[in-house]
Every structure is written in structure tokens, then in C-alpha cells.
Copies of this chain bind each other. A is one copy, B any other.
Amino acid sequence: MTPSVMALSTSAPSKKIDGKAIAQAVREEVASEVAELKRIHGEAAGTPGLAVVQVGGRLDSATYVNMKEKVAGECGFLSLKTLLDEKTEEKELLSIVQGLNADPRVDGILVQLPLPDHINQKVILEAISVGKDVDGFHPQNVGNLARIGEELRQQRGAPFSYKVSNNNACTPLGCIELLERSGVEMSGADVVVLGRSNIVGLPLAMMLIHRNATLTLCHSRTKDIAEKCKRADIIIAAIGQPEFVKGDWIKEGAVVIDVGVNFKDDPKRKSGKRMCGDVDYKAAMANASLITPVPGGVGPMTIAMLMRNTVENAKLRLAE
């Protein structure tokens, strides 16, 4: 080894997990898979289709929907956007979802949440075809995630006549992807997840158990939450409370994934606010070996994993 290389290798490695760069890598991989699918199966069959449905004019929803449309385009997908009036009836939304279920061009259907109060969200989510449910919110996809061992049975050579769904929730998938691409060993690790939402905490808990982590799931009723964090090899915070996790809750060398997106008063900024996560980033950085920033950590991964789910569904369709 030359001295100059040695000098390079002794410089402190960055502790920051760059979610922006990793999300970009995932999107590029998806785009190159799509190019390959089109080459093999032709433009018509080979193009994955993502349908996004938005009800009402919420600004945040519109922003998300537009971002999804843009990234889908960059990945080479067919992107179908349906914008519906705030007053759209449940019945009408249902029939639109059923139309998309039947549309052979569509591999992924995403109904942007939240829906207006007069629409039963569960009814709509359950109406989406299990195989096109790229958000992974259908109870059957949740249920497939909440079981283990099917793969073992498959390996044992039993007949295997059903299709396993790839559709799991995108934000927790993004957290797992960040850990995997950062070389973090999940098997045998003591992992504390803060938050038990249907969108992040619960599916993430299952994904970690599948990967042989020892899971502790903490929430508002948990006692001595700091003590539990202090014992964790990996902490994943998804509780939506600004800088809830303090620096001294982080064990030396632990890995921290921050799913929170919060705003805190900051008189130094023009807007009077700054974005922050569920973790006190600066303080946590002292003890953590790896940590995601907010913004630029988990955030960009959600849409990248949505693209991944959609292309996986297209591959299953083409393999039939």
C-alpha cells in the first residue's frame, strides 16, 4: 500500500447516510431495467405503468403526486394521473380504481392519502388489486409481510402455484434499503423502532424481523424510552416529534435512521422555521457511526421504492 493511499484511508469516513445519492442510484437502476424490458418485450408491453389518483386539491398531495409523476417519467414509465374533485363520491372513486385494476397498461396504482373524510379510506385501499398495490397498504399485502416462512416451503419443493406480492410500504422499504446499501448488518442487531404507524413503524417492524433483527417497538405508552434507545445497535425514529431523540440516547457506534419530517421555529431563517427530523441530528452525530440527515435521508427513498415496486410488478406481469 502506498503512503498516499494510507493517508487517504485514515481520513475519517463520513457518518452521513446520503439518501439523496442512494435514491438516485435506485432510480437509475430502475430506469436501466425499464430500458432492458422495453428492448426485450417491445415498447408497448415492456413499459411499466404507474397510475396516481388524487382526490381534492391539497397542496401537499399535489406536490407529492407531481414528484411521483416526474420520477416515473424519468424511469421510463407510462404515467397516468387522475385528478378528481374534492366532492367525488366513494362510489365513483371505486369505479375508477376498478378501471385501473383492469387496465393492462397499469402495473401500479397509488391513491394519494389522505382522502377526504366522506370517503372510507380502507374501502378504497382494499379495492386496489393486490398485485398493483404499489403502496403496500392492502391488508393482503400487509398480511403477506406479517408472515414468514413461505420461502422455506418453496425451497422444500412444494407446489407453488401462487404469486408472492412484492408490494410493501415504500417508506419502510426505503429505510431497509438505506441500511443495506450502507453495509449495516441487521441480522442479530438490537433494533429500536420508535412509532407504530401503519405506514412506517408496523411494516418496518416486520421487515426487520424478516431480516433477523431483534425488534423493540416503542411508542407513546413506552416507559424509559431513552434507556431502550441507549441499548440499540440501530434506532429508527418515526414518531413525528421534532428532535425527540437526544444525542445521549445514542450508543457509541449505533446507526440512526430518522424518518421524521417536522418543522421547528428558527428566528435565524427568513421563513422563521427549519425542517428537522425526530432526532437531534447534531448531538446524535457525536455518538452515531452512521446517521441519516433530514432532509436528504429517508425522504427521497420513498418515491424511489415506489418505482422499484412498480417495475417489479411489471416484471411479474411479463414473466407470466
- Distance of A121 Cα from B149 Cα, bound (Å): 12
Interface size class on chain A is 35 or more
Task: Verify B126–A162 contact, CB threshold 8 A.
Answer: yes
- Known contacts A122-B162, A139-B140, A216 near B216 by CB under 8 Å: yes
Q: Which residues of B contact A119 (CB under 8 A)?
A: 159
Q: Is the CB of A146 within 8 A of B143?
A: yes
**Shortest Cβ distance from residue A212 to the other chain B in the assembled complex, whole angstroms:** 4
A228 CB-CB contact with B under 8 Å: yes
Flag A147-161 by CB within 8 Å of B: 1 or 0 each: 111100100101111
Chain B residues with Cβ below 8 Å from A187 are 221
How close is A228's CB to chain B, nearest CB, in angstroms?
7
Give Cα A121–Cα B214 distance, bound, in whole angstroms: 28
- What number of copies of this chain does the assembly contain? 2
Instruction: Determine how close the nearest CB of chain B comes to the CB of A306; give it in whole angstroms.
Output: 20
Q: Flag if A222 contacts B214 (CB, 8 Å).
A: yes
Neighbouring B residues of A197 by C-beta, 8 Å: 149
Cβ-defined partner of A122 (8 Å) among B117, B153, B203, B214: B153
With both beta carbons as reference points, the residue of chain B lying nearest to A210 in the complex is identified as: B196
Q: Nearest-CB distance from A22 to chain B (Å)?
A: 26
B159 lies within 8 A of A223 (CB) = no
A/B interface sample: 16 pairs, CB < 8 A: A118-B158, A122-B150, A139-B144, A143-B146, A146-B146, A147-B202, A148-B202, A149-B197, A188-B221, A190-B223, A205-B205, A209-B219, A214-B219, A214-B223, A214-B228, A215-B216
Residues on A lying within 8 angstroms of B by beta carbon are: 90, 117-123, 126, 138-150, 153, 156, 158-162, 187-188, 190, 196-198, 202-203, 205-206, 209, 212, 214-219, 221-223, 228
Nearest first, the 3 closest Cβ-Cβ pairs linking A and B are A143-B143, A139-B143, A142-B143
